């Protein structure tokens, strides 16, 4: 996907929508649910409180808790259960030891489930105990329409989150320098204590291709569809975007972000 071209082509979206008055749902049918915030204020949304499957957007909360519980230099030992994680992974094996910072990068950039489970087990001994911490933290953050059953975002009957909750969670996470520093990278690597290196690219195709894009996380499962939390900042204006179940998430994300910045710029321009 050539997102540099999409960013330029987004001017078409601006002209197509420019004559319309602002509406609650500016982008009908773009996703099962979405939220666009400008400087923390909701600008457009659809089904923002619907409790949907968040896929690997779950890892935003997992990372936030892990960061609060340990330092970058903390050594984590990979368990057999973590090494056998399904879905996206970097290929960790039982007994490998890595720094927490490297596992966080693998989890947030590559969306690696083996890294995710290793971190959850390190913090709380078992994933079940870690999930209890996740739900307690979600309650403390006021995420009223979210409930988690696992640390990594696998589909489960009651594993749900709303677009509005995820937008709030993303803003909280981006206030943490360690979290923000990871998700802004185009690529990363994880190194075991015995010298093995796992290199990976950021699954967030906006990073490095869309002006001001600094995060946050992608997600996908067959049941959840394509999901995205994006954050971009230009000249002091911040845009947060959440898409749940979005068939064309990259094209739509670019158009929505560009429109949000354009309208924010226009509204702040001095009147003549």
Distance, in Å, from the CA atom of 179 to the CA atom of 254, rounded to the nearest integer, reads 23
Residue 67 DSSP SS3: helix
Question: For the chain, how far is it from start to end, CA to CA, in angstroms?
Answer: 40
Distance, in Å, from the CA atom of 129 to the CA atom of 163, rounded to the nearest integer, reads 25
Strands annotated E in 23-81: 33-38, 41-46, 75-77
Residues marked active site are found at 56, 59, 111
Distance, in Å, from the CA atom of 42 to the CA atom of 26, rounded to the nearest integer, reads 12
Distance, in Å, from the CA atom of 54 to the CA atom of 56, rounded to the nearest integer, reads 6
If you ran DSSP here, which 8-state letter would residue 271 be given? P
Residue 103 phi, psi (nearest 5): -70, -35
């Amino acid at each position: 996907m050539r997102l540099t071209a999409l960013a330029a082509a987004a001017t078409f979206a601006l002209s197509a929508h420019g004559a319309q008055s602002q509406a609650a749902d500016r982008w009908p049918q773009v996703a099962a649910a979405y939220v666009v915030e400008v400087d923390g204020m909701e600008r457009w949304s659809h089904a923002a409180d619907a409790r949907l499957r968040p896929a690997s957007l779950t890892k935003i909360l997992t990372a936030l808790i892990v960061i609060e519980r340990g330092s970058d230099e903390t050594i984590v030992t990979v368990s057999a259960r973590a090494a056998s994680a399904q879905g996206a992974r970097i290929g960790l094996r039982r007994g490998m030891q890595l720094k927490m910072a490297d596992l966080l990068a693998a989890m947030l950039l590559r969306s690696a489930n083996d890294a995710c489970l290793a971190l959850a087990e390190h913090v709380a001994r078992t994933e079940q105990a870690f999930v209890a911490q996740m739900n307690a933290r979600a309650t403390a953050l006021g995420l009223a329409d979210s409930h988690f059953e696992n640390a990594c975002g696998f589909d489960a009957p009651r594993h749900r989150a709303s677009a509005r909750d995820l937008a709030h969670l993303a803003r909280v996470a981006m206030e943490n320098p360690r979290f923000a520093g990871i998700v802004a990278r185009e690529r990363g690597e994880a190194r075991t204590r015995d010298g093995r290196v796992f290199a990976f690219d950021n699954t967030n195709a906006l990073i490095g291709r869309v002006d001001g894009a600094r995060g946050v996380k992608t997600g996908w499962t067959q049941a959840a569809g394509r999901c995205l939390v994006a954050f971009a900042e230009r000249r002091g204006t911040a845009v947060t975007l959440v898409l749940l179940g979005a068939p064309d998430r990259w094209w739509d994300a670019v158009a929505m972000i560009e429109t949000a910045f354009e309208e924010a710029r226009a509204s702040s321009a001095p009147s003549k």
